Structure 1
Amino acid sequence: MNLKFSAAEETFRQEVRDFLADKLTADLRRYASRMTSVYADKETALAWQAILREQGWAAPSWPVEYGGCDWSVAQRYIFDVEMAKAGAPSLSPMGIGMCGPALIGHGSKAQKEYYLPRILEGEDFWCQGYSEPHAGSDLAALTMSAVDDGEDFVCSGSKIWTTHAHEANMMFCLVRTDSSGKRQTGITFLLIDMTSPGVRVDPIIMLSGEHIQNAVFFDEVRVPKTNVVGQIDDGWTVAKYLLEFERGGSSYGPRLLQRLAALRRIAKDLGGLDTDMATKISEAEMAAETLEAAELMMMSDLAGGGTPGLKASMMKIRGTELSQRVTELALDIAGLHVQPFQPEHTEAGGPVVTRHQTNQGLVGPDSLVTVSAKYLNDRAGSIYAGSNEIQRNILSKGQLGL
C-alpha cells in the first residue's frame, strides 16, 4: 500500500492552492472563520458553489458526464484537504453530496437528466427526510406512510431534525410503502416537492440559538411515482448507500489538525499554552494524525474500487468525538471569555432567533467569538448520520460477529 502522493498529485495540489488563492474571496474567508455550524447559510453556500461550478469543481465525486471531475480518489482527497486549509466555507451536502450520488447510482435516466443539472446550478436546494420522532438512530422503525393511489403516492406523517427544510424546495425522503414484512423492507426512497399542498415546516431552535433544524409534517401530500428512486419497497438499499458515504466521506483528520493548530496559536497568543494545555493539544493532535492515516488507508482501498464499508462507522465515531474534544479544549482556552453569547458577531448556518440589533462591540478576543456556539452546535455530531452508539453496534456485529 503506497500512501505517498505522486509528483502529478503534488502538481494538482498546487493547482488547487492557486485557484483558492485567486477565487476564495476575503468575504468568504471571513464568513468561514466565523461559522458556528457545520453548514454555511444557503446564500453563502450557493455563492461559493457558483464559483466552484464555473471552475468545473463543484461536484468532484460525480462522473464527468454529469458535471463531475475526472479525478482520482487521491485528487478528491487533496482537494478536500486544501479547501479546509484555505478556510473555504462548506457547501450544503444534501444536494451534491447525497441526493446527487443517490440519483447517479440508483436513479432513472429521466431523473438524472432533470435533477442533476438543477443540483449543480443551485436551482434545487435539498433537505433529507430520514429521522422521525420515534425513528432516528433506529431508522428502520420509520412509519411515515405512502399509500398507493394510481399514479401517485399519498404521503402522511412527519420527519424531524430536518436541516434547512425551511429553505429547501426539495426533499429526498424515506417512506413506508409496505408494513407486512421485515422493517427494512417496504421502505421507498422518494423525492418530494416541498412546495406541495399539505407540507408544513416548523422550526427547531438549537441551543446556540440557530434555526437550522426543523420538524416537517405531511398531510396527504401527493407525490408522483415517477419520483421513486430505485425500486418501490427497496429504498433501504439506497438509504444504506447514502449513509455509508455520509459517515465515511469526510476528511476528518486534516480538518481537525487545522483546528488544533489554530487552538495552539490562540492559546499561545492569550498566554494560556502552559504545560497542561500543550499536552492536551498534543494528545488530540496524535489522535487526529492517527485518524488521518486511517483515512489515507481507506482512500487507497477506494482507489482500488472498494467502498467505505464498516470503516465508515469507525471514521464517523472517531471524527465526531474528536471534533467534540476540540470544542472542549477551546472552552478551556477561552475561560471567562466564553460566557458572553454574541451571535451578532458570528456567522450561523441559519437565522439566529436570539440575534438582536446592538451597537455593542465584540466582548473579548476575536479568535474566541465562536467558541461557545461551536461547542453547543457540535453536541449533535455524535448523533447525526446515525448515533455513535448505533455505529458501535454495527462494528461489533459486522467486524466482531457479536
Structure 2
Amino acid sequence: MDLELTKEDLAFRDEVRAFIEANLTPELQVAGRRLTSVFCEPRYSLPWQKILHARGWAAPAWPKEYGGPGWNEVQRAIFAAECARAGTPSLSPMGLKMVGPVIMGFGTPEQKAYYLPRILAGEDYWCQGYSEPGSGSDLASLQLRAVSDGDHYVLDGSKIWTTHAHHANRMFCLVRTSTEGKAQQGITFLLLEMNTPGISVKPIITLAGEHEVNQVFFDGVRVPKANRIGQENQGWTVAKYLLEFERGGGSAPGLFVGLERAQAIAETADGDDRWHRRRLAEAEIAVAAIDMSERRVLSELASGKNPGPASSMLKINGTEAMQRIDEISIAALGDYAHVDQMDAREPGSNIPPIGPEEGLTAMPRYLNNRAASIYGGSNEIQRDIIARLVLGL
C-alpha cells in the first residue's frame, strides 16, 4: 500500500494550486472560508463553477465521455484537498455529485444528452426530493403519491428539509407509484421542473437563522413520464445507487482546515488554555487517523479494490470529528459564540466582527453540522452496516 504521492501527482498538485491562486477572487475566497454548511449560496458557488467548467474541472469524478476531466482517484483527492486548503466555495453536490451520476447510470441517451451538459455548466440548479414529514431516514415509508394519467404522473403530497429548493429550478424526486407488495417496490425516481404549476415552496429557517431548507408542496402537479429515471416502481434501486455518491469520503482536508480555525479561536480565548490544548490535541489525533484511513481507502480504490464498509466507518468518524471541532470552537469563544453576526459574515461587509473574526461562523457551523451525522444515512445506520458486514451480527 503506497500512501505517498508520485512525482506526477506532485506536479498535478502544483498545477491545481497555481490555477486556484490565479482564478479564485478575494470575494469568492471569503465566501468559501465563511461557509457554515456543505452548501454555498449559488451567487458565489455558480461563478466558481463556471470558472472550473471553462477549465474542464467542474466535475472531478465524471468520466471524459460525459464532459469530466477523467481524473483518477488520487487526482480527485488532490483537487479536493487543494480546494479545501484555499477556501474555495463548495459547489452544490445535488447536480454534480448526485443526480448527474444517476443519469449516467440509469438515464436514457436523450436524458444524458440534455441534462448532463446543463449540470456541468451550472444552467440547472437541483434540489433533492427525498425526505417527507414522517419519512426521513426510513425512505421506504414515503407517501408522495404519483398517479398515472396518460403520459404524465399527477403528484400530491409534500417533501421536507429540501435544501436550496428556493434556489433550484429542478428537483430529483422519489414518489410512490404503487402501494402493492413491499414498500420499497412501489417507489419511482422522477425529474421535475420547479416552476411546474402546483408546486409551492415554504421556507424553514434553521436554528442558525439561515434559510437553507424548505418544505415543498405538490398539489396536482403533472410530470411527464419521459422525466422518469429507470423503470416505474424501481426507484429504490436508483435511490440506493445515489446514496453511494452522497456518503462518499474525503473529509480530512476540510477537517484540518477546521482544526486550524479552532486553533486560531483558542489562541484568543480567556479560558483554560490547558483544556483547549488537550481537546485540540485529541481532535488532531482523530483527524490524523481519519486522514490515514482515507489514504488507505484511496490506495485500495486506485488498485481496483472495493473498500466495502470503510465508507460507513469514515462517515461516522468524519462527521463526529467535525462536531467535536465545532464544540471546541464554541467553548473557546465563550459569550462571543452567541452573538448573531449574519451581516458581518457577508463577503465585502464593512461591519466589524464582535470578537475574533474566526468566530463569525462558529455557532452557525456548530448548529448546521449537527445534521451531518444524520444526512446521507444516519450514523446509527452506518453502525448497523458495520455490525452486519464486519462483525457478522
CA-to-aligned-CA distance 1:87-145 (integer Å, 9 cap, x gap): 11101111111111111111111000000111112111100001111110111111111
Q: Are residue 160 (structure 1) and residue 151 (structure 2) matched?
A: no
Instruction: Trace 1:290-305 onto structure 2 (pairs within 5 A).
Output: 290-305=289-304
Instruction: Give me the whole-angstrom Cα distance separating, in 2, the residues matched to 1:264 and 1:102.
Output: 40
Instruction: Give me the whole-angstrom Cα distance separating, in 2, the residues matched to 1:56 and 1:236.
Output: 32
Q: Are residue 367 (structure 1) and residue 358 (structure 2) matched?
A: yes
> After the TM superposition, which of the residue ranges 25-34 and 105-114 deviates more from structure 2?
25-34
2:9 paired residue number: 9
Instruction: Trace 1:36-75 onto structure 2 (pairs within 5 A).
Output: 36-75=36-75
Instruction: Give me the whole-angstrom Cα distance separating, in 2, the residues matched to 1:112 and 1:305.
Output: 26
Conserved? CA contact 1:264–1:273, under 8 Å: no
Q: How far 1:400 moved relative to its partner?
A: 2.6
Q: How far 1:269 moved relative to its partner?
A: 4.7
Instruction: Give me the whole-angstrom Cα distance separating, in 1, the residues matched to 2:262 and 2:291.
Output: 19
CA-to-aligned-CA distance 1:220-246 (integer Å, 9 cap, x gap): 211111111122111111111111221
Instruction: Give me the whole-angstrom Cα distance separating, in 1, the residues matched to 2:333 and 2:43.
Output: 30
Instruction: Trace 1:246-325 onto structure 2 (pairs within 5 A).
Output: 246-248=246-248, 250-270=249-269, 274-306=273-305, 309-325=308-324
Conserved? CA contact 2:265–2:333, under 8 Å: no
**Gaps (5+ residues) in structure 1?**
349-357
Instruction: Give me the whole-angstrom Cα distance separating, in 1, the residues matched to 2:307 and 2:95.
Output: 20
- DSSP 3-state at the match of 1:364: coil
Give aligned pairs, total.
392
TM-score by length of 2: 0.95
Letter in 2 for 1:95: G
Q: How far 1:306 moved relative to its partner?
A: 4.6
Instruction: Give me the whole-angstrom Cα distance separating, in 1, the residues matched to 2:218 and 2:384.
Output: 32
> After the TM superposition, which of the residue ranges 177-186 and 324-333 deviates more from structure 2?
177-186
Q: How far 1:312 moved relative to its partner?
A: 2.3
Letter in 1 for 2:391: L
TM-score by length of 1: 0.93
Letter in 1 for 2:262: L
Q: How far 1:360 moved relative to its partner?
A: 6.3
Q: How far 1:286 moved relative to its partner?
A: 0.9
Instruction: Give me the whole-angstrom Cα distance separating, in 1, the residues matched to 2:187 and 2:307.
Output: 23
CA shift in 2, pair 1:93/1:48, >3 Å: same
Instruction: Trace 1:106-117 onto structure 2 (pairs within 5 A).
Output: 106-117=106-117
Instruction: Give me the whole-angstrom Cα distance separating, in 2, the residues matched to 1:121 and 1:337.
Output: 40
Conserved? CA contact 1:328–1:375, under 8 Å: yes
Q: Percent identity?
A: 52
Instruction: Give me the whole-angstrom Cα distance separating, in 1, the residues matched to 2:197 and 2:190.
Output: 16
CA shift in 2, pair 1:9/1:271, >3 Å: farther
- DSSP 3-state at the match of 1:185: helix
1:398 paired residue number: 389
Instruction: Give me the whole-angstrom Cα distance separating, in 2, the residues matched to 1:206 and 1:374.
Output: 12
> After the TM superposition, which of the residue ranges 296-305 and 251-260 deviates more from structure 2?
296-305
Instruction: Give me the whole-angstrom Cα distance separating, in 2, the residues matched to 1:314 and 1:133.
Output: 28
- DSSP 3-state at the match of 1:324: helix
2:327 paired residue number: 328
Letter in 2 for 1:133: P
CA-to-aligned-CA distance 1:63-99 (integer Å, 9 cap, x gap): 1121101211100000001100011110111111111
Letter in 2 for 1:260: L
CA-to-aligned-CA distance 1:243-285 (integer Å, 9 cap, x gap): 122112x411121112112322332355668222111111111
Q: How far 1:147 moved relative to its partner?
A: 1.2
> After the TM superposition, which of the residue ranges 45-54 and 267-276 deviates more from structure 2?
267-276
Conserved? CA contact 1:170–1:193, under 8 Å: yes
Q: How far 1:394 moved relative to its partner?
A: 2.5
1:382 paired residue number: 373
1:352 paired residue number: none
- DSSP 3-state at the match of 2:262: helix
Q: Are residue 342 (structure 1) and residue 305 (structure 2) matched?
A: no
Instruction: Give me the whole-angstrom Cα distance separating, in 2, the residues matched to 1:90 and 1:273.
Output: 34
CA-to-aligned-CA distance 1:345-374 (integer Å, 9 cap, x gap): 1249xxxxxxxxx99643212121111111
Instruction: Give me the whole-angstrom Cα distance separating, in 2, the residues matched to 1:222 and 1:241.
Output: 26
> After the TM superposition, which of the residue ranges 19-28 and 257-266 deviates more from structure 2?
257-266
CA-to-aligned-CA distance 1:273-330 (integer Å, 9 cap, x gap): 8222111111111111111111122222322345564222222211111111111000
Instruction: Trace 1:24-35 onto structure 2 (pairs within 5 A).
Output: 24-35=24-35
Conserved? CA contact 1:245–1:312, under 8 Å: no
Letter in 2 for 1:344: D
Conserved? CA contact 2:80–2:253, under 8 Å: no
Instruction: Give me the whole-angstrom Cα distance separating, in 1, the residues matched to 2:185 and 2:358.
Output: 50
